[in-house]
């Protein structure tokens, strides 16, 4: 049995967890088709959780919250969890698909566009020929009616999928997962831009930038108009709140 441990980073509970233990948890839940959801939190989502009450509640009530952003992992290391690595969405999805291809469980992909989903499916099957893909859904951009939502839930459940990877962007994907826990009989994991990265529709930062904590800078330079305000505000707030926590113990 894997016991959960969390540590608050600027007031938000994050799981100090290894890759092995994170995957072990997913494997246990998936093998039982348990209805759970996993949030993968970078600086933007951690700060948003402190500012937005509804989103904060969703993160607090998640079954697992992994440290995505390098500064979040860095905080955990300074709070006593030495060696804490980034447990990010694209790599978690890739590692899980690699593991699960040798088992009976299947995966489902919810979000993004039909074009991206088609490319993603080809890429995954090329790398993991025995991966069982139960299905994909590109949801409409408008707010779903109750009937449309019921149809999607029934479709996913009928597919028999054990894990549903969700790519709707933050905070939409986290809100969607929380609303569907208890309705979808699978582990839901919000993986952000993972579909685009693995489908090669968006280029990911080089490994050295990922490993050194500068992936955010690569994304900012790639989409400055869309992201400059997010990084200016959230990164600054994170630095201020993290400094207060480390020096004064204020969470």
Residue 208 lies in a domain: no
Residue 43 lies in a domain: yes
Distance CA 94, CA 192 (A): 13
233 vs 139, which has greater pLDDT? 139
Ramachandran bin of 213, using left for φ above 0, alpha for ψ from -120 to 50, beta for the remaining angles: left
Angle at 214 between CA 211 and CA 215, to 5 degrees: 85
* CB-CB contact of 1 with 38 (8 Å): no
Average pLDDT over residues 77-85: 95
pLDDT category of residue 64 using cuts at 50, 70 and 90: very high
Terminal alpha carbon distance of the chain: 30
Residue 188 lies in a domain: yes
- Domains: count for the chain: 1
Residue 97 lies in a domain: yes
Question: Rounded to 5 degrees, what are φ and ψ at 117?
Answer: -60, -40
- pLDDT tens profile 25-38: 999 999 999 999 99
Distance CA 84, CA 73 (A): 6
pLDDT category of residue 222 using cuts at 50, 70 and 90: confident
Residue 217 lies in a domain: no
Residue 245 lies in a domain: no
Residues sharing a CB contact under 8 Å with residue 73, sequence separation 6 or more, in sequence order:
67, 84, 85, 86, 87
* CB-CB contact of 212 with 71 (8 Å): no
pLDDT value for 211:
72
pLDDT value for 203:
84
Residues, the chain, total? 251
Residue 115 lies in a domain: yes
pLDDT category of residue 224 using cuts at 50, 70 and 90: confident
Domain limits for position 142:
7-199
Residue 246 lies in a domain: no
Which of helix, strand or coil describes residue 66? strand
The helix-helix angle for 114-127 and 89-100 (nearest 10°) equals 50
- pLDDT tens profile 146-180: 999 999 999 999 999 999 999 999 999 999 999 99
The helix-helix angle for 89-100 and 19-31 (nearest 10°) equals 60
Average pLDDT over residues 40-54: 96
């Amino acid at each position: 049995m894997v016991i959960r441990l969390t540590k608050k980073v600027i007031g938000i509970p994050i799981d100090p967890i290894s890759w092995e233990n994170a995957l072990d948890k997913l494997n246990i839940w998936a093998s039982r088709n348990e209805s759970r959801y996993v949030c993968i939190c970078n600086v933007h989502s951690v700060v948003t959780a402190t500012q937005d009450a509804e989103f904060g509640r969703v993160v607090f009530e998640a079954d697992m919250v992994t440290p995505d952003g390098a500064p979040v992992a860095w905080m955990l290391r300074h709070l006593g969890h030495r060696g804490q690595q980034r447990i990010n969405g694209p790599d978690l999805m890739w590692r899980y698909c690699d593991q699960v291809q040798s088992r009976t469980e299947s995966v489902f992909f919810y979000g993004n566009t039909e074009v991206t989903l088609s490319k993603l499916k080809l890429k995954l099957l090329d790398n993991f020929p025995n991966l069982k893909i139960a299905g994909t859904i590109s949801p409409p951009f408008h707010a779903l009616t109750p009937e449309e939502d019921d149809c999607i839930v029934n479709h996913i459940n009928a597919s028999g999928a054990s894990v549903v990877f969700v790519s709707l962007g933050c905070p939409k994907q986290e809100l969607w997962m929380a609303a569907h826990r208890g309705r979808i009989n699978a582990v839901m994991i919000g993986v952000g831009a993972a579909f685009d990265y693995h489908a090669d529709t968006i280029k990911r930062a080089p490994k050295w930038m990922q490993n050194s904590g500068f992936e955010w800078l690569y994304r900012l330079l790639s989409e400055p108009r869309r992201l400059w305000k997010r990084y200016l505000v959230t990164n600054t707030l994170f630095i201020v709140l993290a400094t207060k926590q480390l020096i004064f113990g204020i969470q």
